[in-house]
Amino acid sequence: MAETPNDRVTEINLNKEMRTSFLDYAMSVIVARALPDVRDGLKPVHRRILYAMNDLGMTSDKAYKKSARIVGEVIGKYHPHGDSAVYFTMVRMAQHFSYRNMLVDGHGNFGSVDGDMAAAMRYTEARMSKIAMELLRDINKDTIDYADNYDGSEKEPVILPARFPNLLVNGSSGIAVGMATNIPTHHLGEVIDGVLALSRDPEIEIRELMEYIPGPDFPTAGLIMGRSGIRRAYETGRGSIVVRARVDIEEKKKWQRNDHYHGNTVSSE
C-alpha cells in the first residue's frame, strides 16, 4: 500500500517542542562560541588558535611565523568560519591594551589603542607568548579530554590544562542566548595569592579574599573610583564601577616636510 503524506506527519506539543528546541539552540551558542569555559577562561576560537599554534610548534622560544599560516590551520582543521573573524581574535590576543597578559606574541602592526587597524595577516607574524605556554603545558600527558572537530577528521581539546586562572587574569566578555558575561581583567600575582588563600580556607569570606584581590586591574591602567561596586560584583556576580582615565595632552607643534620629487624640493609649514 502506498504511503500517504499524512502517514509521515507526527503530532507534537508546540510548547514542549519550542522549549526543547530553544534550549538546544541556546546551549549550542553558549558552548560553541559565545561564552568562555571557566576552567581555562577561553572561548572555542581562542582555544583553537592556541592549540593550532602549539601544533605548528610556534612556541615562545621559536621563530615567528606568518599570521596567515595560523589562520589557515585554524579554519581548515577546527573552526570553519571566516578567516577575518579568526584573525581579528588573534590580533586582540596580541594587543597589550586588550589583554592584561597577552597570549599571542605578535610581530608587526597589530593595531593601536587609538583604534588603528592591524595590518593584513599576510604581513604580520606571531607565536605564542610565554604565559600562553602555561595554558598548554602538559597537554600531551593525558591531562584533558578531546572531541572530534567539525567533520570528524581531527581531534581538538575540550579545554586546555591551564596552569593559572586565565578567566580572572584576562577576563572575558560575550553575549549568548538569554545570558551574557563581562568579566574584567585582574593582576596575575594577586589572583594567585587569592587562589592560595582559598585553598588554605575553602570557607574564606569575600571580604577576606579581597585583601588578596582588591579589585580588577585593567590593561590600560584605569583608576577605579571606590570599592563598593567591586565588592557587590564579587558577592552577587553583578556590579558596576566608575573608572577614571589618565590623559596625556600632546601640544601640536609646528612642523616642516620636505618633499623630493624628480629633483625638485617642496617645503611646507
- Long-range contacts for 230-236 (Cβ within 8 Å, ≥24 apart)? 231/206, 231/207, 234/206, 234/209, 234/210, 235/206
What pLDDT is stored for residue 198 in this prediction? 96
More confident residue, 8 or 86: 86
Give the integer Cα–Cα distance in Å for 264 and 165.
61
pLDDT band at 4 (very low <50, low <70, confident <90, very high): low
Q: What is the pTM of this model?
A: 0.83
Active-site positions?
123
More confident call, 231 vs 267: 231
List, in order of start, the domains of the chain with CATH numbers.
17-157 (3.90.199.10), 184-244 (no CATH)
Position 176 confidence tier, pLDDT thresholds 50, 70, 90: confident
**pLDDT (0 to 100) of residue 252:** 76
Instruction: Please state which of the ranges 73-77, 78-82, 106-110 shows the lowest mean pLDDT.
Output: 78-82
Cα angle vertex 74, ends 174, 21, to 5°? Answer: 50
Per-residue confidence (pLDDT) for residue 180, from 0 to 100: 80
Residue 267 pLDDT more than 50? Answer: no
- 246: pLDDT confidence band, cut at 50, 70 and 90? confident
Instruction: For residues 111-139, give the mean pLDDT.
Output: 96
pLDDT tens-digit readout, 44-64: 999 999 999 999 999 999 999
